[in-house]
Structure 1
Amino acid sequence: MNNRLSEFRVSNDAVDDGEELRRRLDEEGYLFIKKLQDPDKLLALRQDIMQVIRTGGWLMEGTDPMAGIADAAKQCTEPDIEYPSVYHEMYKLESFHRAGHWPEVMQMMEKVIGGPVLSHPQKIARLWFPKYTAHTTPIHQDFVHFQGVYDTYTCWAPVGDCPAELGGLAVLPGSHKINAIHDHHFSLGAGGLAINQEELNDNWVTTDYEIGDSLIFHSLTVHQALPNVTEDRLRVSLDNRYQSTRLPIAEHMLQPHLSGIYPFGWEEVYKDWTSTDLKYYWKDMDLEVLPTIEDFGANGFVEALELAGQGDEHAIHHLKRLIKRDPACERAQRAEDVLNNLSDHPEAVAVNP
């Protein structure tokens, strides 16, 4: 990314004015609210999450879990077979799911949306290792991932202070006004899909986030994560979605995160919960459910096959990871064919995009 970074516009002056919040969101595609979420509640959640991560062996022995000092030897991310053993345990935390329904968040989203709000059942946390920069979340629009309707919103918040070097989010103001989906291409980064930088301007905005700060943005707003270039710190963040209860939702957003690649259901999530109010809460709503659009991921996979055949190192890594994760699936068989053909033709030159 070009290093042309400016500061977010802060919208705390408009937090009690829903009309003005919506006007700014319509104009810029995002709202940045300082201390929207209670830092004390986020610190308590961080303690819960870091305890799980420590138990899973991702933190350096003998360090304070709250500091998030990562063991670099355990580097992994969502598509890696090593990831779900820790992520699934974190995902079972009742406190993690409850954070997506905190009153201060729901009330803000009601102002933004202008009516009753659905907090998507598929809550997401990002657990990001330092110096794993090839896997950084690339430039994209969220719609290709959560789908449903355009008027869906992400509320992103770090679970702890997040200076730029730890890898917070950056957005392109006004980029949602295209009112369409950019072409997305294969990427090794989180989500596996990226927009070509050449199609965009470079007027990115971001900040050094403090705990409690929240970034709200439209599903078509172009954004990306900055790389975590810290020496040893794990970045933990919440990545939750909201929409009007009157609008359709994509069916996969009613399932746990990553359940499409690692079998994992709600009964496992809820097993040790002490309350019931958030269990299957969406089933009491009369929601219109839309089928998941498979084309985005399918097109990215085809592009990965083509790039791997040309010796692209990122695509080759992606295919090898897929084969390791699910060797019997149809995509893994196609990936093996490409990699076997590549082995038979060593003259193919590996290139690093």
Structure 2
Amino acid sequence: MPIRAWRARFAVGRVVSMLTSNGYTLDESRLGELEAVPGAERHDRDALLTRIRRDGYLFLRQALDPAAVLAFRRYYFERASAAGAGLTAPGTPAGDGIAGGRVDPAALRRALFTDIVPGSTYHAFCTQPAIRDWFAWFLGGTTHLHRRKIIRHTAPGESGIGTATQAHYDLVYIREGTDRVLSAWIPLGDCPLSRGGLTYLEGSHRRVLRAEAEGTLKRPAASITADLPALAAEYGARWLVADYRAGDLVVHTAHIVHAALDNVDPDGVMRLSTDIRYQRADQPIDLRWQDDWHDRDGL
């Protein structure tokens, strides 16, 4: 849905809500729409390679089976509920992901780091043929999936610095292997603008690539900034956003700057997403990323 149409819809019967990230309101003059790969290019490897070099990302609509995505979404919230994490609102189906429960942080951590993240169901989802075989075809060889796979949920109303993913590019975190590693960001369920999906800083990979090559870039330890409006002004670029649907997939390079929007969903629905990383197996691998993700792993 175009940005202006979303604002009009969200404004019906209430105050117009602007897009925000970590509490910062994005400047509408520096907003654009993520461009989906057209059908004519979906099976043209050379066209996709040209596109990802130019744009830094590939937005692949309905690359995955929506039913499989929604099934994993249900699995995540049901497992968390079974562990007593209290993520979802009492009286609502856990699989719907409606926020409003009293979260037990210890139970949530147990569910995540001893059950869901290292579990076979998550691994099977991340290695399903629609993902695994696509990367093998696109990269033109045997691939390696980094074991450190991240899954995140965000509830509506959470705001302030540190709530949404701050602006960064992935090479900051995964520098000890090839810089040709590719990330796949997967919304686990529908993720309209109001639910706080990923946003990309248009053309930022070209500036980062130049600065990396010249050794002139100040390398942040974790993120560049939470202030997305200021970063867009500094780069003279737009933040690209999209209404994501279950089944969509975004593949991006390690150099493009990206961040997440705040979840302001009026119906209380949590955003759930995962980001995973594939590369060619014959290229250097960052060994620090070969253990299961944990929020205290220092990465």
Q: TM-score if structure 1 supplies the norm length?
A: 0.66
Contact between 1:70 and 1:233, CA under 8 Å: does it hold in 2?
Answer: yes
Query: 1:123 is matched with which residue: 149, 157, 162?
Result: 149
Instruction: After the TM superposition, list the runs of 4 or more consecutive aligned residues in structure 1 that deviate by more than 6 angstroms.
Output: none
Equivalent residue, structure 1, for 2:206: 177
In 1, Cα distance between equivalents of 2:270 and 2:152: 10
**SS of residue matched to 1:233:** coil
Equivalent residue, structure 1, for 2:252: 217
Contact between 2:64 and 2:130, CA under 8 Å: does it hold in 1?
Answer: yes
Equivalent residue, structure 2, for 1:84: 109
The answer for unaligned runs of 5 or more in structure 1 is 187-191, 263-293, 298-353
**SS of residue matched to 1:146:** coil
Query: 2:133 is matched with which residue: 104, 107, 120?
Result: 107
Which letter does structure 2 place at the counterpart of 1:31?
L
- RMSD of the TM alignment (CA)? 2.3
**SS of residue matched to 1:74:** coil
Q: CA deviation at 1:86?
A: 3.0
Equivalent residue, structure 1, for 2:59: 32
- Deviation per CA, 1:245-291: give whole Å up to 9, x if none: 111111111011026x26xxxxxxxxxxxxxxxxxxxxxxxxxxxxx
The answer to whether 1:158 aligns with 2:187 is yes
The answer for unaligned runs of 5 or more in structure 2 is 1-25
The 1:82/1:245 distance shift into structure 2, 3 A limit, reads same
Q: CA deviation at 1:214?
A: 0.5
Equivalent residue, structure 2, for 1:248: 284
Q: CA deviation at 1:75?
A: 8.7
Equivalent residue, structure 2, for 1:67: 96
**SS of residue matched to 2:54:** helix
Query: 1:96 is matched with which residue: 98, 122, 136?
Result: 122
Q: CA deviation at 1:236?
A: 0.8
In 2, Cα distance between equivalents of 1:51 and 1:131: 22
Higher mean Cα deviation, 30-39 or 250-259? 250-259
Task: Show the 5 A alignment for 1:200-279.
Answer: 200-231=235-266, 232-258=268-294, 261=296
The 1:115/1:95 distance shift into structure 2, 3 A limit, reads same
In 2, Cα distance between equivalents of 1:127 and 1:238: 9
In 2, Cα distance between equivalents of 1:166 and 1:149: 33
Task: Show the 5 A alignment for 1:272-291.
Answer: none
Higher mean Cα deviation, 45-54 or 19-28? 45-54
In 2, Cα distance between equivalents of 1:185 and 1:126: 22
Q: CA deviation at 1:201?
A: 2.7
In 2, Cα distance between equivalents of 1:52 and 1:27: 41
Contact between 2:90 and 2:101, CA under 8 Å: does it hold in 1?
Answer: no
Which has more radius of gyration? 1
**SS of residue matched to 1:162:** coil
In 2, Cα distance between equivalents of 1:93 and 1:44: 15
Contact between 1:72 and 1:130, CA under 8 Å: does it hold in 2?
Answer: no
The 1:133/1:83 distance shift into structure 2, 3 A limit, reads farther
The answer to whether 1:17 aligns with 2:32 is no
Contact between 2:184 and 2:250, CA under 8 Å: does it hold in 1?
Answer: yes
- Higher relative CO (CA 8 A, sep ≥ 6), structure 1 or 2? 2
The 1:73/1:2 distance shift into structure 2, 3 A limit, reads farther
- Deviation per CA, 1:192-224: give whole Å up to 9, x if none: 522461532331212100100010100011111
Which letter does structure 1 place at the counterpart of 2:239?
W
